[in-house]
Amino acid sequence: MNDIQLPAIDYAALLPMLIVFGAACVGILVEAFAPRGWRFVIQVSLTIGGLVAGLVAIIVNRDLEITTIGGAVTVDGPGLFLQGAIIILGIVSLGLIAERRLERGGPFVAEAAHAANSDGDKRQEREPGATEVFPLTLFAIAGMMLFCVSGDLLTMFVALEVFSLPLYLLCGLARRRRLISQEAALKYFLLGAFASAFFLYGVALLYGYAGTVSLTGIREGVLQSEQSGILLAAGLALLAIGLLFKAAAVPFHVWTPDVYQGAPTPVTALMAACTKAAAFGGLLRVFNVAFETTAWDWQPVLATVAILTMVVGSILAVAQTDIKRLLAYSSVANAGYLLVGVVSLNGAVGSSLFYLIAYGFSVLGAFAMVTLVRDSEGEATHLSRWAGLGKGSPLFSALFTFLMLGFAGIPLTSGFTSKFALFSSAWDSDQSVLVIVGVLSSVVLAFPYLKVVVLLWLNPPGEETPTVSVPSMLTRAVIFAGVAVTFVLGVAPSFLLDIVADAGPFLAK
């Protein structure tokens, strides 16, 4: 009987994730033992502290390039960058999650167990929201971080579930419009489980093909395996479906609008920024590491998906009448642009990473501003209600206009630089058709954004224009961060582009 040897574990490489996981577990203990009145303050400081500590650990690790725990975790340049991006975007979106001034008690329901509109629900209307959301957010962020550095598909699957489950929960915890929020959570959960099944089946087939689930093993298996290529093709297809679901690519995007609309807006922001980063981090790693050598097989298929995603996302965005749905479809279209980066393989890794940061900050800013427009029913998200807001709230409208212009890709905003960088590196990787479709669809997509701008400034206000509430410092900081980064990356993106260039390719050894 052999002794079981524990493989070498580089704790330094795991430290960022361990910190965030640890903070989440402490958060659970706080829920159990801290007095009710103190929980909110403790949780917020704990969460921010944990995330900042994780970020510091990542920065300390910045030059690390290592495969540890027998290949289960691969920490490399892009992986660390993605982890950092997820943590930073997570810290920013935490500002929205912890906001308690816009709505008495915060955006989350106090006790989700009360049936919507029941007596108990009415009684809890003014009670402070559940503080469990903070550890849940931490778990989600930690899962996303692991997802981006997984070295094998099994770890990746566990990470996928670790970050999905808290998100399913968070989606259903809205304080207002609870039925729609719960509906969103349920839909997300069911469809997410459906997609996970595909992922798992794909992993099984790939194991059958390569005899291993490690990404580098599959890469080598492509060259050496004696097994039928059908296993590889089918496994790759099923795996891709699971990943594309999280990335919200057409036709796996169907959940996006409903879930984005129904979920509490801070959670929507978290999903739009962080989940997108994690999903594409995973996609980029899987395709760049495991399947780079079979690119000829899958590139046409993924390119078709990218084209569909860009076209369908941008066209459906035009027809939307709800700002959250509009942003949801725009996030679908942006997933299409990012897929162009995935199809372009190594040539576009850097610009895809840049795009994720640029898009993440803009979308956080935009959703933060969506939370401000309220009436007695909560957020007023129907676009017709936004008409003429420019008259009463010029500063709000000016900032929102700026973000919309950023999304539309007008120069001097990050939307332009990121699209430009992504498309030019894709063009350089001979994906000219995708670039042409991308440019065309971004043209279409600019229209709904500018429609909002015109609505804000040029249309007469409706009969009952909602008010723009004054938020606390937290939401203000989020809006400031979103707008500032959109501007800075639009004017002087060099420093970040240098960082992503330094991050180098994915570690494929």
Partner 1 sequence: MSLLAQGALLAADNTVPTGEAVTFWILAPIALGGAIGMVLARNAVHSALLLVCTMLSLGVFYVLQAGPFIGMVQIIVYTGAIMMLFLFVIMLVGRHTRDSLIEVLRGQRLAAVILGVGFAMLLGTGLARGVGSVTAKGLDEANANGNVEGIAKLLFTKYIFAFEVTSALLITAAIGAMLLAHIEKKPGEKLDQKVLSRNRFTKGNYPGPKSGPGVFATSDSVATPAILPDGTFTERSVSKVVPARELTLTEARPKATNGNKQDGEIR
Partner 2 sequence: MDSITYAPATGALSSMWLLVAIPALSATVLLLLGRRADKWGHWLGVASVLASFVLGVTYFLQLRGIDGTGNKSLSVDLFEFIHIGDLNVSVGLLFDPLTAVFVLLITGVGFLIHLYAVGYMSHDPGRRRFFAYFNLFVAAMLLLVLGDNYVMLYAGWEGVGLASYLLISFWSDRPAAATAGKKAFLINRVGDVGFALAIFLMFATFGTTNYADVFNGVLASEAGQTVSAGVLLAMGLLLLLGACGKSGQFPLQTWLPDAMEGPTPVSALIHAATMVTAGVYMIARSQVIFNANETAQTVVVSIGALTLLIGCVIGCAKDGIKRVLAYSTVSQIGYMFLAVGLGGGAYALGIIHLLAHGFFKAGLFLGAGSVMHGMKDQEDIRRFGGLWKYMRITWATFGLGYLAIIGIPPLSGFFTKDPIILAAFNREGWTGWLFGSAALLGAGLTAFYMTRLFVLTFHGRPRWQKEGEGGAHAASATDAHGAHADAHGAAIARTEDGRDIQHPHESPWIMTVPLMLLAVGSVAAGWLMSTSVVDWLTPVFGEHEEGHAHLTHTQVTIATVAVTVLGVALGYLLFRGGTSLVEQPARTHLVRAARNNLYADRFNELVFELPGRLLTRALVWVDNRGVDGIVNGLAAAFGGGSGRLRRLQTGYVRTYALSILSGAFLIVAALLAVRLG
Helix axes 323-343, 229-247, angle to 10 degrees: 150
Residues 50-89 that bind partner 1 (CB under 8 A): 69-73
Give the gyration radius of the chain's Cα atoms: 22
| Count, residues in the chain | 509
Q: Among 54, 172, 192, 264, which residue interacts with partner 1 (rule: CB under 8 A)?
A: 172
User: Whose CA is closest to 398, among 420, 365, 375?
Assistant: 365
Q: Among 55, 57, 91, 142, which residue interacts with partner 1 (rule: CB under 8 A)?
A: 142
Q: How far apart are CA 233 and CA 296, in angstroms?
A: 12
196 belongs to the binding site for partner 2 (CB under 8 A): no
155 belongs to the binding site for partner 1 (CB under 8 A): yes
230 belongs to the binding site for partner 2 (CB under 8 A): yes
Three-class SS of 34-87: CCHHHHHHHHHHHHHHHHHHHHHHHHHCCCCCEEEHHHCEEECHHHHHHHHHHH
72 belongs to the binding site for partner 2 (CB under 8 A): no
Q: Among 111, 125, 227, 251, which residue interacts with partner 2 (rule: CB under 8 A)?
A: 251
User: Whose CA is closest to 290, among 339, 345, 350, 354?
Assistant: 345
Q: How far apart are CA 270 and CA 251, in angstroms?
A: 22
Dihedral, CA of residue 253, residue 255, residue 261 and residue 266, to nearest 10: -90
Residues 271-310 that bind partner 2 (CB under 8 A): 297-298, 300-301, 304-305
User: Whose CA is closest to 118, among 169, 171, 186, 178?
Assistant: 178
Q: How far apart are CA 202 and CA 207, in angstroms?
A: 9
| DSSP per-residue letters across 427-492 | HHTT-HHHHHHHHHHHHHHHHHHHHHHHHHHHSPP-TTPPEE----HHHHHHHHHHHHHHHHHHH-
Residues 8-37 that bind partner 1 (CB under 8 A): 9, 14, 21, 24-25, 28, 31
Total chain residues near partner 1 (CB under 8 A): 60
Amino acid letter, residue 306: A
Q: Which stretch binds partner 1 (CB under 8 A): 129-137, 259-267, 370-378, 450-458?
A: 129-137
179 belongs to the binding site for partner 1 (CB under 8 A): yes
Residue 5: contacted member of partner 1, partner 2, none (CB under 5 to 8 Å, by partner type): partner 1
Residue 139: contacted member of partner 1, partner 2, none (CB under 5 to 8 Å, by partner type): partner 1
Dihedral, CA of residue 366, residue 420, residue 342 and residue 19, to nearest 10: -50
Of the two residues 49 and 251, which places its CB atom closer to partner 2 in the complex? 251
231 belongs to the binding site for partner 1 (CB under 8 A): yes
Integer CA distances (angstroms), 69 to 5, 155, 285, 310, 379, in order: 11, 11, 18, 39, 47
Residue 69: contacted member of partner 2, partner 1, none (CB under 5 to 8 Å, by partner type): partner 1
Give CA angle at 499 (495, 502), nearest 5°: 135
Residue 159: contacted member of partner 2, partner 1, none (CB under 5 to 8 Å, by partner type): partner 1
179 belongs to the binding site for partner 2 (CB under 8 A): yes
Of the two residues 9 and 470, which places its CB atom closer to partner 2 in the complex? 470
Q: Among 29, 319, 473, 484, which residue interacts with partner 2 (rule: CB under 8 A)?
A: 319
200 belongs to the binding site for partner 1 (CB under 8 A): no
Of the two residues 28 and 315, which places its CB atom closer to partner 2 in the complex? 315
Pairing mode of beta strands 373-375, 378-379: antiparallel
148 belongs to the binding site for partner 1 (CB under 8 A): no
Q: Among 40, 139, 359, 386, which residue interacts with partner 1 (rule: CB under 8 A)?
A: 139
161 belongs to the binding site for partner 1 (CB under 8 A): yes
Place of tokens 């169907």: 254
187 belongs to the binding site for partner 2 (CB under 8 A): yes
Q: By the criterion CB under 8 A, which residues form the site for partner 1?
A: 1-2, 4-7, 9, 14, 21, 24-25, 28, 31, 69-73, 111-118, 120, 130, 132, 135-136, 139, 142-143, 146, 152, 154-155, 158-159, 161-162, 165-166, 168-169, 172-173, 179, 205, 208, 211, 226-231, 233-234
